Amino acid sequence: MIDLLPTIEHLDLFKEGNLFHAFKVFGAHLECEGEEMGVRFTAWAPNAKEVRVVGDFNDWNGKEHTMHEIESTGVWSLFIPQLFDGTLYKYEIHTNEDKVFLKSDPYAFYSERRPQTASIVKSLNVYKWQDEQWQDKKRKTNVLSNPINIYEVHLGTWKKVNNESLSYFELANKLIEYVVSMGYTHIELLPIMEHPFDRSWGYQVTGYYSITSRYGTPEQFMYFVDRCHQNGIGVILDWVPGHFCKDDHGLREFDGTPLYEYKDGMKAEKPSWGTLSFDYSKPEVVSFLISNALFWMDVYHIDGLRVDAVESMINLNFDKPPGQHIKNKQGGTENIEAISFIKKLNETVFHHYPNALMMAEDSSNWPCVTSPTYMGGLGFNFKWNMGWMNDMLRYMESDPIYRPYKHQLITFSLLYTYSENYILPFSHDEVVHGKKSMLNKMPGEYWQKFANLRLLYSYQMAHPGKKLTFMGGELAQFEEWKDLEQIDWMLLDFDMHHMFQQFVRSLNLFYKQECALWESDYHHSGFMWMDADNNKDSIISFIRKGRCEEEIILVVCNFTPLSRQSYDIGVHIPGIYEEVFNSDDVRFGGTGRKNGKVKAGLKSCHFQDFSIQLTIPPLATIMLKRIPAISKEIN
């Protein structure tokens, strides 16, 4: 016999902000009380006069199903016998002003498909996981010194059949097979928590614990994640703890008063997004959010969270007009409660999941985002490098004739790249709202556009930091992401697009096999400039190194459409260097200028004692690997 009636200990932890598995207490849970099977409903509504449960089982009339408040705690609970999986329900909130309205369950595990908004009773204990090998490997893996190359996906528009999005089950076959074949290491999903409006892309949530019913059931999504893990692919979710939408059935004024949001409208409102900020000063809200982060890892085996819009959380005046600016109690503009919440979130997640991926999407200059909290940091282990992304796109969008005057845009990032554990992102945000597709950002005629994009992606792969690209980028789409249509798969019927996809696949597989490109991403020892200052030719060269001194890759990038012959590049170690990757390969649509094996001679260049002579193709990246065995004989 099970009794899920919340205990005083549970409620004390909840009110302290320390009930980190609140989803096991709140919401709707199938159980047996006495001799009867049924569902226990538990909700937090401290300012309600009365709370009832309504649903398809009582014709949406809650008169006979009034919840009981537990010892004046503001927590209401009720066991209703003879209810089962699939029962539709809502909470009927009666306010002290005698207003009555219906709310979806904030802790619901499943919900009706939009535009319907009822919560659905759902047991999440049925699926039998088969990812033990993945979980064991993950426990032994140092995420910082392993390859991470993320394919960012919006599930609704990756691929469609008869204009219908694929289900989780269908995606588990088609998407995973594609991601594996393309050589990515992780999938990152735009938010799949329940949300009412398709075109919010999931960033305006109503059901934080409810997997969206657009694509199927919780069990089908579990199968999707399981299949990812069985195929060696990690799964990251976009997670939105910064704000929520104002839809009537959601969290806004849940018990008739501002509850999950700040009471002070100046702090609560996110003007441009039309959303409300969570009130991080309330311990119960902290319990709700931290429990939600753990929920996705506990129940769905998610490997990590990309925390959306961190700057909007930590900056009180984010995106607010000057007339609405406010200050905290200490006279600053940072949100002290949000910062405290973020630190507690990361401490808790890493306590339970030491190898989780906690990624901050943060466009601010806040220091130590990826430093441990005991060192004064926010406690994430990764941060998106928005500065690098913006600089690189500004540079690449300019005509090569003007690039010598903007050379610092491609080198500046190395002045700060070791200040955080960065991910280099080209995300969905860069290919919407008139920003143009990645291919159409590139200058020049048809061939040059493709060459420029190959150059950009290969420089991204060679630069220190983990990698992320948005779906469709690997097809070299001409148009922006169309958020109601599938990506442009028909482009693969055209040679240049098909060759570009093969380029991305080859680049991804090359990245995975070369530890020099990822093993020391976050150590100064992993990078060495050969020539950072040749703005005249718009050519840069550098060394990437693994932990083993023998693992050396020389990277040369030519950002002009001019080919260079017998071009001297300095190297710090003599030996034979073999060209192992060339973005100008004819297989990728390039001109086919190659180098093969070259020997480093005793000729100083770029402040090095040795140098090699190369043919450098136009608008291309070439990578050469030192051959250790031959090098030893020469030494």
SS (H, E, C) 369-397: CCCCHHHCCCCCCEEECHHHHHHHHHHHH
Task: Write out pLDDT tens, residues 569-578.
Answer: 999 999 999 9
More confident residue, 412 or 7: 412
- 16 — pLDDT class (breaks 50, 70, 90): very high
Task: Write out pLDDT tens, residues 117-162.
Answer: 999 999 999 999 999 999 999 999 999 999 999 999 999 999 999 9
Task: Write out pLDDT tens, residues 153-211.
Answer: 999 999 999 999 999 999 999 999 999 999 999 999 999 999 999 999 999 999 999 99
For the domain made up of 150-517, give the CATH fold: TIM Barrel (3.20.20)
- 319 — pLDDT class (breaks 50, 70, 90): confident
More confident residue, 36 or 109: 109
Count other Cβ atoms within 10 Å, centred on residue 58. 16
C-alpha span between 321 and 272 (Å, rounded)? 10
Work out the burial of residue 413: count CB atoms within 10 Å of its CB; fewer than 13 is exposed, 13-18 middle, 19 or more buried.
buried
Contact indicator for 366, 312 with CB cutoff of 8 Å: no
Contact indicator for 6, 13 with CB cutoff of 8 Å: no
- 217 — pLDDT class (breaks 50, 70, 90): very high
- Whether the per-residue pLDDT at 633 is higher than 50: the answer is no
Task: Give me the residues paired with residue 164 across strands.
Answer: 161
Contact indicator for 76, 26 with CB cutoff of 8 Å: no
More confident residue, 73 or 4: 73
- Whether the per-residue pLDDT at 5 is higher than 90: the answer is no
Place of tokens 């959306």: 308
Closest CA to 28 of 140, 108, 139: 108
Mean pLDDT of the chain: 95
Work out the burial of residue 99: count CB atoms within 10 Å of its CB; fewer than 13 is exposed, 13-18 middle, 19 or more buried.
exposed
Q: What is the DSSP letter of 6?
A: P
Which is catalytic among the residues 92, 226, 284, 361? 361
Q: Is 69 a catalytic residue?
A: no
- 35 — pLDDT class (breaks 50, 70, 90): confident
The CA-CA-CA angle for residues 472, 475, 477, to 5°, reads 70
Instruction: Spell out the SS3 assignment of 590-628.
Output: CCCCCCCEEECECCCECCECEEEEEEECCCEEEEEEECH
Contact indicator for 168, 215 with CB cutoff of 8 Å: yes
- 39 — pLDDT class (breaks 50, 70, 90): very high
Which is catalytic among the residues 303, 308, 474, 551? 308
C-alpha span between 579 and 621 (Å, rounded)? 11
Residue 2's pLDDT is 43
Q: In what order do the strands lie in the sheet with 243-244?
A: 243-244, 275-277, 269-270
Q: What is the percent of the chain with per-residue pLDDT over 90, rounded to a whole number?
A: 93
Q: Determine which helix (DSSP H) or strand (DSSP E) holds 291, and give its type and residue range.
A: helix 283-300
444-453: Cβ within 8 A, 24+ apart: 444/399, 444/400, 444/561, 446/496, 447/589, 448/561, 448/619, 450/476, 450/496, 450/500, 450/589, 451/561, 451/583, 451/584, 451/589, 451/590, 451/618, 451/619, 451/620, 452/396, 452/619, 453/500
Residue 630's pLDDT is 46
* Residue ranges covered by each domain of the chain: 8-120, 150-517, 524-634
Place of tokens 């306590």: 351
Three-state DSSP class for residue 248:
coil
Residue 33's pLDDT is 84
- Architecture of 524-634 per CATH? Sandwich (2.60)
Structure-token pair, residue 222: 């579990």
Task: Write out pLDDT tens, residues 537-554.
Answer: 999 999 999 988 778 999
Contact indicator for 347, 294 with CB cutoff of 8 Å: no
Closest CA to 526 of 548, 508, 507: 548
Task: Write out pLDDT tens, residues 464-508.
Answer: 999 999 999 999 999 999 999 999 999 999 999 999 999 999 999
Helix, strand, coil percentages (3-state) for the chain, rounded to 5, are: 30, 25, 40
Residue 629's pLDDT is 57
Average pLDDT over residues 307-332: 93
Q: What is the DSSP letter of 399?
A: -
Average pLDDT over residues 273-299: 97
Residue 632's pLDDT is 44
Q: Is 361 a catalytic residue?
A: yes
Q: What is the CATH number of domain 8-120?
A: 2.60.40.10
C-alpha span between 86 and 122 (Å, rounded)? 6
Residue 1's pLDDT is 34
- 635 — pLDDT class (breaks 50, 70, 90): very low
Give the side-chain half-sphere CA count within 13 A for 192.
Answer: 30
The reply to whether domains 150-517 and 524-634 share a CATH topology is no
Average pLDDT over residues 20-44: 94
H-helix segments, 7-81: 8-16
Residues 6+ positions from 532 with CB-CB distance below 8 Å: 411, 414, 540, 542
> Could you please report the per-residue DSSP string of 121-138?
-----------HHHHHHH
C-alpha span between 457 and 436 (Å, rounded)? 17
- Whether the per-residue pLDDT at 300 is higher than 90: the answer is yes
Count other Cβ atoms within 10 Å, centred on residue 360. 30
Length of the chain: 635
Task: Write out pLDDT tens, residues 593-602.
Answer: 999 999 998 8
- 4 — pLDDT class (breaks 50, 70, 90): low
